[in-house]
Structure 1
Amino acid sequence: MVNNVGKWTPQQFWTSLTDIGTWTLIGWVALKIILMIVLGRILVGIVFKILDQAMKERDVKRIKIDTRRTQTIVKLVKNVVSSTVYFIIILMVLAEIGLDLAPLLAGAGVLGLAIGFGAQTLVKDIITGFFIIFEDQFAVGDTIQAGTYKGTVEMIGLRTTRLKSWTGEVHFIPNGSIVQVTNYSLNNSIAVVDVTVPIDLDVDTSIESIKTTVQREFDKSEDMVKPPEVLGIQSVGTADVVIRVTAECKTNTHLAVSRLLNAEIKRALDDVKANAAASAANKGDVY
Structure 2
Amino acid sequence: MSITEVYNRVVGWLTDNDVWESFGKSALRVIIFLAVGRLVVWVIHKTIDRVVLEREAKRLPSHARRMTTVGKLMKNVTSYVVYFITVMLVLSEFGINLGPLLAGAGVLGLAIGFGAQSLVKDIITGFFIVLEDQFAVGDVIQTGQFKGTVEVIGLRTTRVQSWTGEVHIIPNGMINEVTNFSVNNTVAVVDISIAHEEEVDRALEVIRYTMITMKDDNLINAPEVLGIQAIAATGVTIRVIAECRPNTHPVVARKVNMEIKKALDASGIEIPYPRMVTYQRNEKGGVKDGA
TM-score (norm 2): 0.77
Equivalence for 1:43? 40
Equivalence for 2:169? 172
Equivalence for 2:239? 244
1:64 and 1:127, CA in 2 relative to 1: closer, same or farther beyond 3 A?
farther
1:191 and 1:75, CA in 2 relative to 1: closer, same or farther beyond 3 A?
closer
1:203 and 1:110, CA in 2 relative to 1: closer, same or farther beyond 3 A?
same
d(CA) in 1 for partners of 2:38, 2:127: 24
Alignment of 1:89 onto 2:86? yes
Gaps in structure 2 of 5+ consecutive residues: 1-8, 271-291
d(CA) in 2 for partners of 1:71, 1:250: 25
1:76 and 1:233, CA in 2 relative to 1: closer, same or farther beyond 3 A?
closer
Matches within 5 A, 1:55-70: 55-57=52-54, 59-60=56-57, 61-64=59-62
- Supply the AA of the counterpart residue of 1:131: F
**SS of structure 2 residue aligned to 1:64:** helix
d(CA) in 2 for partners of 1:59, 1:26: 49
TM-score (norm 1): 0.78
1:121 and 1:46, CA in 2 relative to 1: closer, same or farther beyond 3 A?
farther
**SS of structure 2 residue aligned to 1:260:** helix
d(CA) in 2 for partners of 1:129, 1:85: 23
Equivalence for 2:146? 149
My pick for the range that moved more, 194-203 or 26-35, is: 26-35
1:228 and 1:27, CA in 2 relative to 1: closer, same or farther beyond 3 A?
same
Question: Hey, which bits of structure 1, 4+ residues long, moved more than 6 A?
Answer: 22-28, 69-73
Equivalence for 1:126? 123
Shift of 1:254: 1.0
My pick for the range that moved more, 186-195 or 129-138, is: 129-138
Shift of 1:81: 2.8
- Supply the AA of the counterpart residue of 2:255: L
Equivalence for 2:155? 158
d(CA) in 1 for partners of 2:226, 2:240: 6
Shift of 1:17: 4.2
d(CA) in 2 for partners of 1:168, 1:102: 55
**SS of structure 2 residue aligned to 1:224:** coil
1:274 and 1:241, CA in 2 relative to 1: closer, same or farther beyond 3 A?
closer
Shift of 1:141: 1.0
The count of residues paired between Structure 1 and Structure 2 equals 261
Residue of 251, 270, 277 corresponding to 1:256: 251
Q: Are the counterparts in 2 of residues 143 and 151 from structure 1 also a CA contact under 8 Å?
A: yes
**SS of structure 1 residue aligned to 2:152:** strand
Aligned-residue CA RMSD (Å): 3.1
Shift of 1:271: 3.5
Residue of 198, 201, 219 corresponding to 1:201: 198
Gaps in structure 1 of 5+ consecutive residues: 1-9, 276-287
Equivalence for 2:98? 101
Shift of 1:154: 1.2
d(CA) in 1 for partners of 2:171, 2:61: 22
Residue of 183, 187, 206 corresponding to 2:184: 187
